[in-house]
Amino acid sequence: MNIAGTLPSLSASQMAEIDRIMLQDFGVGSLQLMELAGHAVASFAREHQLDGLAHDKRIVVLAGTGGNGGDGMVAARLLTAWGANVSVILTRPVEDHAGIALHQLGILERWGIPLIDGSRGVPASIPEDTSLIIDGLLGFSLEGDPHGTAAELIEVANAAAAPILAIDLPSGLNATTGEIGAPCIRAAATLTLALPKSGLGVDDIRAVTGDLWLADIGVPPAAYARIGVPLSALIFTSQPFLRLSTGPTR
């Protein structure tokens, strides 16, 4: 499936294969990709959601235990370094995390960034002075409807006045089919990573994706060619972000 002209898109399984190829064939591991993704999210948030200034802005990051959560944690750290007042709401206790997500949490703890364990009680609401909510709850591997703490946090985020920036795709949206789960994040903007996910090309999902943008995380064209997805042209020759479509007016 093509989005925005001739730009190809990837299914969840194809994106997982790209992750494998980047490590095994190109020597770029998951931690490096997470840092690149998190930097893209933080930079996009500052430029496009915060009017170019992160200082003194209140930001709430919703973080699951997987890769999207880790991307959000990296973004939380960088936005903190740029002067924002950031807190992170987790779907599970810190000790339930593993691998690079646990590594990122350890960094946040050293930085003194507030971590809220949503599994012990989801906040009733997002603070009214919040400038931005970053959705890093669920990733492209989601199958079925969100449940548990993640589902509760989706409902709380959707009820907030602050705009939501979704990492890669809104939590609750099936990356391959575009099926909208119940509940599903209703984002003001979605920053999809590397290449768009196939589900983002389905009609009538802009109500949940908002404005759709693509971010560079350093995947070379040769990696896509190895899964039979050649690029007809280079994407990020002059800018790190590419606008793919515009969401509905809110």
Q: Is the pLDDT of residue 1 over 50?
A: no
85 is in an annotated binding site: no
The response to whether 64 counts as a known ligand-binding position is no
Whether residue 142 is annotated as binding a ligand: the answer is: yes
Pull the structure tokens for residue 180.
């909208």
Question: Residue 69, annotated ligand binder?
Answer: yes
Model pLDDT, residue 203: 81
**Residue 143 in marked binding region:** yes
Query: Does residue 89 carry a pLDDT above 50?
Result: yes
Q: CA 6 to CA 94: how far, in whole Å?
A: 42
Q: What's the pLDDT score for residue 141?
A: 81
Distance CA 18, CA 9 (A): 12
* pLDDT computed for residue 213 by the predictor: 97
Q: Is 123 exposed, middle or buried (0-12, 13-18, 19+ CB in 10 A)?
A: middle
Better pLDDT: 190 or 204: 190
Domains of the chain, first to last: 2-245 (3.40.50.10260)
Answer whether residue 2 shows pLDDT above 60. Answer: no
Q: Is 135 annotated as a binding residue?
A: yes
Burial of 203 (0-12, 13-18, 19+ CB in 10 A): exposed
d(CA 223, CA 20): 10
The rounded mean pLDDT for the chain is: 94
Share of the chain above pLDDT 90, in %: 89
Q: Is 121 annotated as belonging to a binding site?
A: no
Q: Can you tell me the distance from the alpha carbon of 95 to that of 161, in angstroms, rounded to the nearest whole number?
A: 31
Q: Does 44 count as an annotated binding residue?
A: no
Q: Is 204 helix (H, G, I), strand (E, B) or coil?
A: coil
Q: What is the pLDDT of residues 15-68, one digit of tens each?
A: 999 999 999 999 999 999 999 999 999 999 999 999 999 999 999 999 999 999
pLDDT score for 142: 83
Cα separations in angstroms, 8 against 16, 171, 231, 232, 246: 16, 22, 7, 9, 18
- The predicted-structure confidence for 120-150, as pLDDT tens digits, reads as follows 999 999 999 999 999 999 988 888 899 999 9
CA 35 to CA 23: how far, in whole Å?
14
- The dihedral through the CA atoms of 104, 105, 110, 112 has a sign that is positive
Is 26 labelled a binding residue?
no
